[in-house]
A and B are shown apart, each in its own frame.
Chain A
Amino acid sequence: MGIEAVVLLFVVGLFLVGSAVIFAHFFAPKSENHSKFEAYECGIPVRDGAWMQFNVGYYMYALIYLVFDVEIVFLFPWAEVMHDMGTSAFVEVVIFFAVLGLGLAYAWKKNALKWQ
């Protein structure tokens, strides 16, 4: 086990994904229609072009979402070592959450959660 395993994984992955794509290309039923070539917008019908004004609040939501999304990434390693480290790990994560909570409270205070 070593570099061989990585190469094997790569080859198997390439084969699986590649065969699925090739298989689908030859055997899947096809239909050509207008809506197929539109940009995907979560299922909502597309309207106007991309060069339009839109609410800057989108970015606000994206940022707040990102903060809490990334927080999960930190929580997994924490859960992994929580047993070994004991109380200190717990205190640290509480401080972490307190700071995050302050961030949310700040966004709330600044009306970032209100759709205007």
Chain B
Amino acid sequence: MRHELMLAVSVVVLLVVEIFSSAKHKTNVVLPLSIALMGLSMLVGGMYPEAGTLFGGIYRTDALRTAVKLVLDAGALLVFFQVYGWIRRPENSDKVSEFFILVFSTLIGMHYMVSAGDFMMMYLGLELASIPLSALAAFDRYKRVSAEAGIKYILSSAMSTAFLLFGLSFIYITAGTLHFDALQAAFRPDVLTILGLVFFMAGMAFKISLVPFHLWTADVYEGAPVAVTAYFSVVSKGAAVFVLTWVLYHVFGAAVEQWRIILVTLAVMTMTVGNLFALRQQNMKRFLAFSSIAQAGFILLGMLGQGALGMASVVFYLLVYVFTNIAAFSVVAAISNATGKENIDDYRGLYATNPRLTLVLMVALFSLAGIPPVAGFFGKLFLFNAAASQGYYWLIFVAVVNATISLYYYLRPVRAMFIDKNEHPIAFFKSDAYMRMGLLLCMAGIFATGFISWFFEYLFAVS
């Protein structure tokens, strides 16, 4: 609980600063303050994780949930490092603190979602997270695409919530309770419960943007500011992935025969469609949007391996994904902030002018593709391992074919940067200190999670 309280206190502190400060350049005050508050929250919430329940069991915490929350917090922290160049623009001057307040609010919602011991609590956390998220998507409110992203996100999340609540009402009709433990104890696989399970999974699939519920993703990711897109693709997805995994394993553990089929179908469709659409994208943000759809399909493979192995592989992949995807988005943000260019063709010849940024993007894309020395490889390996433990060899074959396809498009920007010739490449620019710090942290994360086995062992031990 102290984790959530600390986040709430951070919101109040930022609000007080916003009300009483008359600083001319607010970014220089609010950004370091937000980074410090986020660091403090991680410290307060993450130290000495304890297990326990509150409010009659609707809130519960343990070492695994604390770890997931820390992963989400780390994602938000890394996003904070990349916003400086964007948030200090004149058109954002009247809403600097609001960005951070909204991010903290969404995090509170996701923490409650992760810590829910009851479907109602999970739903409340989901709403608490998705309402500020739509405000974040429309943050560049005078840009048409950003406003469009906001309205599309609101509509699609309303739709997914409708699915979710419809499913939950079926579950409530049959069981008479929404409490996770009680549901698990009284589970009967009758028609209404399975119908509820299907609708619940559809609602969550919207949030994780699994095919065929992915149609909002590319438009929202393209329209929203780059920092917000990074946040969407990593943090908001991560919370939903964990909750779905936990609920499937523990609440619907007895209906594994039913949800296994759904997960396999979703995984195959998501990987294939995400990859095939990513092949033909020109805009970097759309490209990363479809790549993140495909990655979600890979995560489903880990979900299929049940028990501690499945859970640990999913959470470990989320951890790797946070560092990897935010590193990629940070480079896109740096280039977009400095030049306004977001297309793959614009990146041609970038190595000659901005070698260090290029190297960061290369490592991030290698990690997304799963090329051995970096963390993404081990993430995928554990996911495949989890699926193999349940005997899904043909599914792993499909995944490997898809990983090969993805290699082609992940290497496209790399080829553009290193090999393609360009008469007028993007000129050399110096990114700000926050951005460099953030990129450094991302790189450290990618290599640390790849080379230090402690992370996976810890997650395996606590899940």
Contacts and interface: CB of A to CB of B under 8 A. Distances in A.
Q: Is the interface of B mostly helix, strand, loop or mixed?
A: helix
Contacts of B16: 102
Nearest to A110: B94
A25 interface: no
B141 to A, nearest CB: 12
A63 to B, nearest CB: 13
A109 B94 CA distance: 11
B18 A106 contact: yes
A102 B16 CA distance: 7
A109 B424 CA distance: 47
Interface residues of A, number: 7
Nearest to B11: A99
Contacts of A9: none
A105 B19 contact: yes
Contacts of B12: 99, 102
A109 B18 CA distance: 9
Nearest to B97: A106
Interface string B78-94: 00000000000000001
Interface in B11-25: 12, 15-16, 18-19
Contacts of A109: 18-19
Contacts of A105: 19
Nearest to B101: A106
Q: Is the interface of A mostly helix, strand, loop or mixed?
A: helix
A64 B43 CA distance: 35
A61 to B, nearest CB: 19
Contacts of A106: 15, 18-19
Interface string A102-116: 110110011000000
A105 B15 CA distance: 9
A105 B18 CA distance: 10
Interface in B219-247: none
Contacts, number: 13
A103 B101 CA distance: 12
Interface residues of B, number: 6
Contacts of A103: 15
B211 to A, nearest CB: 36
Interface in B340-358: none
B10 to A, nearest CB: 13
Contacts of A102: 12, 15-16, 19
B265 to A, nearest CB: 43
B315 to A, nearest CB: 33
A105 B17 CA distance: 12
Contacts of A110: 94
Contacts of A99: 12
Interface string B1-37: 0000000000010011011000000000000000000
Nearest to A95: B12
A106 B15 CA distance: 7
Contacts of B18: 106, 109
A105 B21 CA distance: 13
Contacts of B94: 110
A91 B94 CA distance: 34
A82 to B, nearest CB: 20
A99 B15 CA distance: 10
Interface string B374-404: 0000000000000000000000000000000
A94 B15 CA distance: 18
A99 B105 CA distance: 14
A102 B94 CA distance: 18
A103 B19 CA distance: 10
Nearest to A108: B19
Nearest to A107: B19
Interface string A79-91: 0000000000000
Interface in A66-103: 99, 102-103
A99, A103, A106: most-surrounded residue (chain B CB, <10 A): A106
A67 B18 CA distance: 20
B15, B16, B94: most-surrounded residue (chain A CB, <10 A): B15
A109 B17 CA distance: 12
A84 B15 CA distance: 33
B12, B16, B19: most-surrounded residue (chain A CB, <10 A): B19
Contacts of B15: 102-103, 106
Interface in B64-112: 94
A94 to B, nearest CB: 14
A110 B94 CA distance: 9
A92 to B, nearest CB: 13
Nearest to B15: A102
Interface in A36-86: none
Nearest to A102: B15
A114 to B, nearest CB: 15
A99 B12 CA distance: 7
Given A102-B15, A102-B16, 11 more contacts: A99-B12, A102-B12, A102-B19, A103-B15, A105-B19, A106-B15, A106-B18, A106-B19, A109-B18, A109-B19, A110-B94
13 contacts: A99-B12, A102-B12, A102-B15, A102-B16, A102-B19, A103-B15, A105-B19, A106-B15, A106-B18, A106-B19, A109-B18, A109-B19, A110-B94
Closest A-B pairs by Cβ, 3 of them: A105-B19, A109-B19, A102-B15
